[in-house]
Amino acid sequence: MTSHAKTTLLSLSGASVRFEARTIFDGLDIGVDAAEVLAILGPNGRGKTTLIRALVGTLALTKGSRQVSGTVGYVPQSNAPTFDFTVRDMVLMGRARHIGTFGSPGKHDFIRADTALDRLGIHALAQRGVASLSGGERQLVMVAQALAGECDCLILDEPASALDLKNQAMLFDVLAGLAHDDGLGVAFTTHVPGHALEAADRALLLMETSRQDGPVGKVISHDSLTALYGTEVRVLREQCGDSALAAAVAVPARSRRQAGV
């Protein structure tokens, strides 16, 4: 692993977002640091997407401030295509900042787009129209587009929600590599605590009336996940070579009844 100085690339200070009378979060301090992966977890409707949108700047804060240093790539949750571009063109659009408004892509832009397609294992899709892709394929294209943009900080909203197990593992390998090898700051939301255990250094849990933010091994536990989701959650661990694999599962009500927990 290359060592990088600890630098905060993107942060919110004392941040609040309110929709009419409803406060989604209040007084939130959060930072995305270079060379680090941050996982954001919380139940449906808790405010993960709202927080992501506030971080990338597509949603104005009701109170507080946003600090950004460097370029930010964003992979939103919804990726319904508005026009049937080819996959390669879609990924090339990630280069817009480098190409400029009236420019056209050069050799280097095509190389970066192809590298991103390769890195996500979707080169075979390059000439396909995005409208014909499956949900998971489209999700990988949107990540490839963000990678092609060569940002300093990458923010992803549920990037693995449509991916099969192999592609989930591949994606989180790529995200960990971007942070630990290339020095990017990476933050993602997920409903799968295993994704945080697999790829993140730090986790932010959006509890009902508070937040927990800290090293992933400390923050993601039986007690915190059970409190977060309001149901019994078990964390299962297995050694695989030098790595510890971990997954979290909610215990179904019938199993709780049988086990008397």
Ligand X SMILES: Nc1ncnc2c1ncn2[C@@H]1O[C@H](COP(=O)(O)OP(=O)(O)OP(=O)(O)O)[C@@H](O)[C@H]1O
Cα angle for residues 4, 220, 176 (degrees, 5° grid): 35
Nearer to ligand X, 30 or 87 (CB): 30
Residues numbered 66 to 105 that lie near ligand X (CB under 6 A) are: none
Closest approach of ligand X to the CB of residue 32, in Å: 17
Segment interacting with ligand X, rule: CB under 6 A, options 47-55, 111-119, 141-149, 248-256:
47-55
42 binds ligand X (CB under 6 A): yes
Residue in the block written with tokens 């905060």? 8
Segment interacting with ligand X, rule: CB under 6 A, options 41-49, 84-92, 135-143, 164-172:
41-49
Nearer to ligand X, 45 or 260 (CB): 45
- Can you tell me which of 15, 25, 35, 49 binds ligand X, judged by CB under 6 A? 49
- Can you tell me which of 10, 28, 39, 47 binds ligand X, judged by CB under 6 A? 47
Instruction: Give me the half-sphere count of Cα atoms (radius 13 Å) on the Cβ side of residue 53.
Output: 16
44 binds ligand X (CB under 6 A): yes
- Can you tell me which of 7, 13, 50, 86 binds ligand X, judged by CB under 6 A? 50
Residue in the block written with tokens 């060592």? 3
**Window 16-35: contact mask with ligand X (x via CB under 6 A):** ---x----x-----------
- Name residue 228's amino acid: L
Segment interacting with ligand X, rule: CB under 6 A, options 45-53, 84-92, 140-148, 215-223:
45-53
Closest approach of ligand X to the CB of residue 238, in Å: 28
117 binds ligand X (CB under 6 A): no
Q: Report how far residue 39's alpha carbon sits from residue 22's, in angstroms, rounded to the nearest whole number.
A: 25
- Where does this chain bind ligand X (CB under 6 A)? 19, 24, 42, 44-50
